[in-house]
Amino acid sequence: MREFRYVIHDKMGLHAQPAGYLVKTAMSFPCKVTIGVRGKETDAKRIMAVAGLQVKCGEEIILKTDGEQEEEAMDVLSGFIERNL
């Protein structure tokens, strides 16, 4: 299992466009991918679940990958988050 913590800097938080990309990319990996904020954790492969977290600017998210290709998935997803959020 790998874990990545990141404070969101985008003024709009984790809004629709980056959330959609995050979900689509997470779905391309066979490992389990979760995202959490404020003590809630959800499946990062489900757009409604990710959108339901309502992540705002200044909040810390925790992204986790577990299973086959977890390292590759974490590298791709964490890189996207750092560059875009």
Report the predicted TM-score, pTM, of the whole model to 2 decimal places: 0.94
Catalytic residues: 15
Specify which residues 33 forms β-bridges with. Answer: 65
| 62 Rama sector, left if φ>0, alpha if ψ -120 to 50, beta otherwise | beta
* CATH 3.30.1340.10 given to domain 2-84: yes
How crowded is the C-beta side of 63, counted as CA atoms within 13 Å? 27
> What pLDDT does 67 receive?
98
- Residue 50: band (very low, low, confident or very high) from pLDDT cuts 50, 70, 90: very high
pLDDT digit string, tens, across residues 3-21:
999 999 999 999 999 999 9
Question: Average pLDDT of the chain?
Answer: 97
